[in-house]
Amino acid sequence: MVCGPEAITAMTRHCAPSMQAIVSSIVPIDLFLLHWPVPHRRRHSRRALERILGEGRCRAIGVSNFMVHHLEGLLGHAKVPRAMN
């Protein structure tokens, strides 16, 4: 398993084809969600979403199917507040 900055870059790159299939490069996605709290990848996945948000490729980020302890584990590392859970 890849960890650290390489994992964030890989996850961001992995999202690119899906994002291109959804919208053109001119229109950002309204809300980009992490659908499931994958063990050992939550923090890197969150950072990848923050990067996508920072690049203007989406308007908001959030999570789905996360429990309280999953969210608490991300609180100290999140740079951007989530828009939805």
pLDDT at residue 3, as a whole number: 62
What global pTM score does this model have? 0.65
Where are the chain's structural domains?
A: 5-75
User: What is the Cα–Cα distance from 45 to 78, expressed in whole angstroms?
Assistant: 11
User: What is the Cα–Cα distance from 85 to 53, expressed in whole angstroms?
Assistant: 17
pLDDT at residue 85, as a whole number: 62
Q: Taking the C-alpha atoms of 72, 80, 25 and 17 in order, what is their torsion angle to the nearest 10 degrees?
A: -20
Query: What is the longest distance spanned by two Cα atoms in the chain?
Result: 36
DSSP 29: B
Residue-level pLDDT, tens digit, the chain, 85 residues: 556 677 777 777 877 777 776 655 567 788 988 888 888 888 888 888 889 899 888 899 988 888 999 888 888 777 777 666 6
